[in-house]
Structure 1
Amino acid sequence: MFRLQRSVNFRFPFRSLKTETHAMSMSRRTMALLSRWSSRVFSVDVDGETIYFKIRDNQPGKGAEEMQRIFGDVQKYAKYYSLLVSSGDKIYTARFHWELKDKLLAALPPQCHFSPMCSFVPRVKDSLVRGYFLRADSPESSATTERLLRQWLQLDDPLLVCSYLQKNENSPQWIQYIWNHEQNHGIVPSEAPQYHPATLNLINSDVFYSFQAAREVFKKCVDIIPEAASVLELLPCDADVEARSEPDFPVIVLEGLDATGKTTLTESLRDVLGATLLRSPPECLTPWRARFDQEPPILRRTFYALGNYITAQQIYRQTSKTPVIIDRFWHSTAAYAIATAVSGPVCNLPAEGSELYRWPGDLLQPSLVVLLTLDPEERKRRLKDRGQEETKEEHELDLNQLFRLRVEEAYGRISGPTCISVDASSSAEQVLQQVLLLIKAKCHL
């Protein structure tokens, strides 16, 4: 669980953006959630493990031991709450949830902790709702927590708040009470779903499969992120994206984690083949990259997805004259997005062959994609020797072995085209010769 540090008062920054229509939309969304409440499954991340539970009224005593894994060794004064964030506006909801973590850290009292949680309807796309599970460990912290939660509800923000309590001291049954809706439900453990719940909302939220879908999301955030307008001005028009033809010269993509030797290899290939070297995201997006790296996943992923389409237009302009070498392309965008959205072990990833790994139908397909692989310890050593500042995701790769494994596995599952792995532990010259052999065989250069 996240530990809270200090207590201050604040108001959510989105209130000034809301309109009467938006508030009505949020109300309809809440009612839609409640209409299928008994079909929903809830999950809480506890100490690196995901615990699932569901509504099951009138079954006292069911799953006492499993429920204790969520609520822990129940303390006399402990109180439990959940916050689920949902509105009719995907971007509003994403930004609200993204900033809610910081607000909880700042506003809730000491002796209060929280963990990520979500709610979803199994096998129903776009049914995932994210939020947080809270535990207040003293009468003072629970009183302050409840007061803050009631204040936030009065702001008409997209919060659905629940409390959790035992039916009585001698009963192992837990009750979920939905605030402002006067609903009580018994809850019992649930089996883990066949696929990780995050996969329900991946399409065109974390991974984009068309230029139009990514651009439409980006256009909606211009009012709240002025920099988005500058990015939109750089995008190709629909006709340019649709008017695709087979490149005259091969397009070769180099993929891999940082410090696997991509920069050295791409520059060597450029010189040996007389090729044009491009990078994704393209340099024209550099002024806004740090800005969108601070945004929630849906906007960050949209930014990088659109960067791929700008790169594709640059490729078309060059392939009539020379081969093109690209330092990262859509594989990176998709692999990092999937591995970030889907937590836990590799088995939680979408199954091999899933539509989530398919190449966008309107994006140029490379002639060859080479994935450079490297032993994790050697990669760490190289990163240290370079002395450069790590990106947030690279830092996560170093700290979280499961995240690294998910990224690597997602790379390998993307189709159209698939990656061909090359061991990058040899000398730069040996790796270059290996890749040149692949290019000769696959691209006839």
Structure 2
Amino acid sequence: MLHPSRLLRLTPLPRALSAMAAPPAGGSGQCFAVEGPGSDLVCFTLSASGRPEPRCFVPAPGRCYSLCVPAAPSVPMARLHRRLQQRLRQGPFEGCRVLGLLCYGAQAALEKGFLIQDPRGGPETERALEELLRGLGELPPPLLGVYEAGERGELWQCLWALRGAGGRELLRRARVVAAEEPPLHPAVPGLSHAAVFHSLEAARSVVEQCTSFIPEATAVLDLVDKCPKQSKKGEFPVIVIEGLDATGKTTVTQSVNDSLNALLLRSPPACISQWRKTFDDEPTLIRRAFYALGNYIVASEIAKASTESPVVVDRYWHSTAAYAIATEISGKVQNLPPAHHEVYQWPEDLLKPDLVLLLTVSPEERIRRLQGRGLEKTEEETELEANNLFPQKVEESYKRMENPRCQEVDASPSREEVLRTVLYLIKKHCGSL
């Protein structure tokens, strides 16, 4: 294991270079954002001409490499990104630091990838990367970016395309210069296409692409196709309970259900919950589509049940969307899409509840409860515990949801007091039950 002092660090680029926010004339038109472990993005672009240099993030003798794939809602590209992510954690890359990388530009589609920092600077990592790319199978391998420090401290990117018989071709050599963070996080424009699904058809098209390698995908689609195209709510109220894990959501949901003599439903519904583990192990694009379809199946159950009694739902669309947004948007809470952005709007083709309650507790209390559960954690639950920025982004995303918005409830007091507050809000918004 490398001593911490030998790990390469990404240094925030100087504010004096803020004039370079746009791609410089003669450059590639691309900008890059490195998603470091801190709360700030490190942004840079490429230039064909001499300009003031940023501080180099590849100190000698180290080197950096980059790989990117298109971030469009394409299942093959999503799986390729996931495969690269898994391989870069193993074998010859264990001594490297792997950071998320976004490639974007005014005329270019978003790409997602990785910046690999190698503190050794020898040829082994580059050879291992070439071997990894050549072994990807039928898909065209991503281009390989190699970053090298010049004699005067400047930084260069060489972009290579791998060719047959072990050869490669240099496509571009350009100087790396600083850029300001864009007004919106680079991933924001693509959220509504590849992370937060606003229609049944958008989610269905993704899961449809998975039937050849996920047998359960066919079963999910069959269940979706048996649902009414546009589920209509009955005369009884529908109340959704949302919140981070360990906020008391399950307990409150059950208590409210008993108090109202209601029918309790959960999302994802029981008919597809058996396949959660299968889809949780897939890239986020596929995972989100699965949970989105689960919401539409639940909607058909809500429509039927709400003709006979009140309905209480343990999580629904807001949960699916909030976790997707927080996962895709790296860094600080301020990187989230602004309030009233389209990504926070309820899907027009999804049955809408009468009331959505968001349970909240302090971060310290939530961690204490999580540690006491002793249950196997999902990837996102692990992220919630390890990264205090992630739960902040999930909760803030919840609070920005609209039509319907979330009514916040402090779930820190006793169970009885929380239940009284929740029942008061239900009576206030849904009338006498």
TM-score by length of 1: 0.84
The aligned counterpart of 1:148 is: 131
Tell me the distance in 2 between the aligned counterparts of 1:79 and 1:428: 55
Shift of residue 143, structure 1, vs aligned partner: 5.5
Residue 229 of structure 2 corresponds to residue 241 of structure 1? yes
Which one-letter code corresponds to 2:302 in the other structure?
I
Contact kept in structure 1, 2:72 and 2:193, CA below 8 Å:
no
Q: CA 1:155–1:161 in 2, change beyond 3 Å: closer, same or farther?
A: farther
Contact kept in structure 2, 1:79 and 1:165, CA below 8 Å:
yes
Contact kept in structure 2, 1:249 and 1:323, CA below 8 Å:
yes
Q: Given the alignment, which residue of 137, 145, 156 partners 1:175?
A: 156
Shift of residue 80, structure 1, vs aligned partner: 2.3
Q: Given the alignment, which residue of 189, 202, 223 partners 2:178?
A: 189
The aligned counterpart of 1:281 is: 268
1:177-203 residue CA offsets vs partner (Å, 9 max, x unmatched): 111253222221111011111112211
Q: Given the alignment, which residue of 141, 159, 176 partners 2:142?
A: 159
Q: CA 1:154–1:57 in 2, change beyond 3 Å: closer, same or farther?
A: farther
Tell me the distance in 2 between the aligned counterparts of 1:296 and 1:155: 19
Any unmatched runs of 5+ in structure 2?
A: 4-25, 161-168
Tell me the distance in 2 between the aligned counterparts of 1:235 and 1:257: 27
Which one-letter code corresponds to 1:54 in the other structure?
T
Shift of residue 254, structure 1, vs aligned partner: 0.6
Contact kept in structure 1, 2:72 and 2:194, CA below 8 Å:
no
Equivalent positions of 1:262-341 (< 5 A) are 262-341=249-328
Any unmatched runs of 5+ in structure 1?
A: 4-35
Equivalent positions of 1:211-226 (< 5 A) are 211-226=200-215
Q: CA 1:87–1:155 in 2, change beyond 3 Å: closer, same or farther?
A: farther
Shift of residue 427, structure 1, vs aligned partner: 1.3
The aligned counterpart of 2:35 is: 45
Shift of residue 379, structure 1, vs aligned partner: 1.9
Q: Given the alignment, which residue of 397, 412, 416 partners 1:410?
A: 397
Which one-letter code corresponds to 2:195 in the other structure?
D
Shift of residue 156, structure 1, vs aligned partner: 5.4
Tell me the distance in 2 between the aligned counterparts of 1:93 and 1:414: 29
Contact kept in structure 1, 2:269 and 2:298, CA below 8 Å:
yes
Contact kept in structure 1, 2:133 and 2:142, CA below 8 Å:
no
Which one-letter code corresponds to 1:130 in the other structure?
K
The aligned counterpart of 2:85 is: 101
Shift of residue 150, structure 1, vs aligned partner: 6.8
Which one-letter code corresponds to 1:417 in the other structure?
P
* Greater mean alpha carbon deviation, residues 352-361 or residues 260-269: 260-269
Paired residues, number: 400
The aligned counterpart of 1:227 is: 216
Q: CA 1:394–1:88 in 2, change beyond 3 Å: closer, same or farther?
A: closer
Shift of residue 110, structure 1, vs aligned partner: 5.9
Shift of residue 89, structure 1, vs aligned partner: 7.5
Which one-letter code corresponds to 2:159 in the other structure?
I
- Considering only aligned residues, what root-mean-square deviation do their CA atoms show, in Å? 2.5
Which one-letter code corresponds to 1:101 in the other structure?
Q
Contact kept in structure 2, 1:109 and 1:144, CA below 8 Å:
no
Contact kept in structure 2, 1:178 and 1:184, CA below 8 Å:
yes
Q: Given the alignment, which residue of 373, 378, 381 partners 2:360?
A: 373
Tell me the distance in 1 between the aligned counterparts of 2:372 and 2:335: 34
Q: Given the alignment, which residue of 113, 120, 138 partners 1:131?
A: 113
Contact kept in structure 1, 2:279 and 2:286, CA below 8 Å:
yes
Which one-letter code corresponds to 1:174 in the other structure?
L
Q: CA 1:208–1:148 in 2, change beyond 3 Å: closer, same or farther?
A: same
Q: Which structure has more helix as a fraction of its residues? A: 1
Q: Given the alignment, which residue of 326, 348, 369 partners 1:361?
A: 348
The aligned counterpart of 1:24 is: none
Tell me the distance in 2 between the aligned counterparts of 1:110 and 1:127: 31
Contact kept in structure 1, 2:97 and 2:116, CA below 8 Å:
yes
Tell me the distance in 1 between the aligned counterparts of 2:266 and 2:375: 19
1:342-380 residue CA offsets vs partner (Å, 9 max, x unmatched): 011110000001001000000011100111111122222
Contact kept in structure 2, 1:64 and 1:172, CA below 8 Å:
no
Which one-letter code corresponds to 2:112 in the other structure?
R
Tell me the distance in 1 between the aligned counterparts of 2:71 and 2:198: 24
Tell me the distance in 1 between the aligned counterparts of 2:326 and 2:126: 38
The aligned counterpart of 2:65 is: 81
Tell me the distance in 1 between the aligned counterparts of 2:255 and 2:288: 30
Q: Identity over aligned residues, as a percent?
A: 41
The aligned counterpart of 1:25 is: none
The aligned counterpart of 1:55 is: 46
TM-score by length of 2: 0.86
Which one-letter code corresponds to 1:392 in the other structure?
E
Tell me the distance in 2 between the aligned counterparts of 1:107 and 1:419: 46
Q: CA 1:330–1:155 in 2, change beyond 3 Å: closer, same or farther?
A: closer
Contact kept in structure 2, 1:109 and 1:141, CA below 8 Å:
no
